[in-house]
Amino acid sequence: MKKIGKQTYVMANDVFIRDAYTIAGTKEGEGPLGDNIDYIMSDSTWGEKTWEKCEAKMQQYSVENLISKNNLKKSDIDLMLAGDLLNQIVSSSFAARSLEIPFIGLYGACSTMALSMGVGALLIDGGFAENVVCVTSSHFCCAERQYRIPLESGGQRHMCAQWTVTGSGAVWLSKNNDNKDLPKIKNVTFGKIIDLGVTDSNNMGAAMAPAAADTIRQNIIDTNVNIDYDLIVSGDLGTVGKSIANKLLQDEGINIEKKYDDCGTIIYDIDKQDAHAGASGCGCSAVVFGSFLYKKLLKKEINTLLFTATGALHSPTVSLQGESVPGIAHSIGISN
């Protein structure tokens, strides 16, 4: 059986993370990871008429450049697994329309980067694909318009609110490594929806933290790793959610604080940039993984990583009807 424990799948065959490509906006370029991001856009529309068109272009650009920098052809890619935050994942489907690569659309909110990598790893391990591209994106202006208050309204943001990353990240997974020493996906833990009744849609970190803690705990139990990951990183809990996840794990006797961080607190300098509680969005974990975490693995600065992207399965419609915000998280165990 490739399934171990309750929720974790282990790879019987090597699934290599061959490369990654990232693109981001000016705010992200001014943050701590700016020098590591492959391309920084000059403005929020990037030559397009709307923010939504810009976001679709970001996904298309990240995939095209990932393919070209590795001297591949589009026909070499068996599947493109992608998703985003917009209704009907239009950024992903419109990018896929231009790329003409077989496409599977996924929606896990901000957990989509780990979700796509997990599904891609299982497809390769099962012999159903040889090369898979996983890509996702988010755009601050698009997310504000869809989920909160359109920017034109000039609404005030809550201090517990997070800043949606304008960015996209694409990751190439393959069964082959061409004799290169590359990180491999070793296990995947698909999370359960956890909902502790948070109804404040401005406080996404609190809504997602229980799911992050639950999936991290389950991966540790299922794999019996005894917390030997060099680094454990959640997706986009920000300062509020990160502290809650830490507390929830400590209450269960799991102390990861010294080796735990969150993409939402990595991508911005929270002391100097106006990001309130940190970063969020599909692009948050995608850009941090592709520009920072993957490079730490390549340089052997870390040898084992538990990458746990998190998502708030939030709908403005049902929130206005008084419904709570369910959380989800998926973990990818990676090692050199």
Which of the four pLDDT bands, split at 50, 70 and 90, describes residue 1? Answer: confident
Domain co-membership, 137 together with 188: no
Q: Are residues 159 and 189 in the same domain?
A: no
Above 90 in pLDDT, residue 198? Answer: no
Boundary-marking domain end, from 119, 144, 174: 174
Where among 174, 204, 224 does a domain terminate?
A: 174
Q: Same structural domain for residues 310 and 170?
A: no
For residue range 76-112, what is the model confidence (pLDDT) as tens digits? 999 999 999 999 999 999 999 999 999 999 999 999 9
Q: Does residue 142 lie within any of the structural domains?
A: yes
Q: Is residue 198 one of the residues assigned to a domain?
A: yes
Confidence grade of residue 277 (pLDDT, cut at 50, 70, 90): confident
In a domain, 179, yes or no: no
Whether 169 and 196 map to the same domain: the answer is no
In a domain, 303, yes or no: yes
- Please indicate, yes or no, whether residues 188 and 170 belong to a single structural domain of this protein: no
Structural domain tally of the chain? 2
Residue 101 CA to residue 256 CA, distance in Å, equals 40
116, 148, 174 - which closes a domain: 174
Domain of residue 234 covers 184-335
> Does residue 156 sit in the same domain as residue 189?
no
In a shared domain, residues 70 and 116: yes
How far is 226 from 193, CA to CA, in rounded Å? 24
User: Residue 189: which CATH number?
Assistant: 3.40.47.40
Residue 29: the pLDDT is 96
CA dist 245 and 242 (Å) reads 5
Average pLDDT over residues 312-317: 88
Same domain for 278 and 167, yes or no, is no
Is residue 110 domain-shared with residue 78, that is, in the same domain? Answer: yes
Weakest-pLDDT range from 96-110, 152-166, 204-218, 232-246: 152-166
- As beta bridge partners, residue 17 has 173
The helix/strand/coil state of 303 is coil
By C-alpha distance, which of 81, 77, 42 is closest to 59?
81
Domain co-membership, 206 together with 249: yes
Mean pLDDT of the chain: 93
Same-domain pairing of 88 and 123: yes
Same domain, residue pair 127 and 251: no
Report phi then psi at 211, rounded to 5: -70, -40
pLDDT at 95: 97
Whether 293 and 307 have beta carbons less than 8 Å apart is answered as yes
Coil, strand, or helix at residue 272?
coil
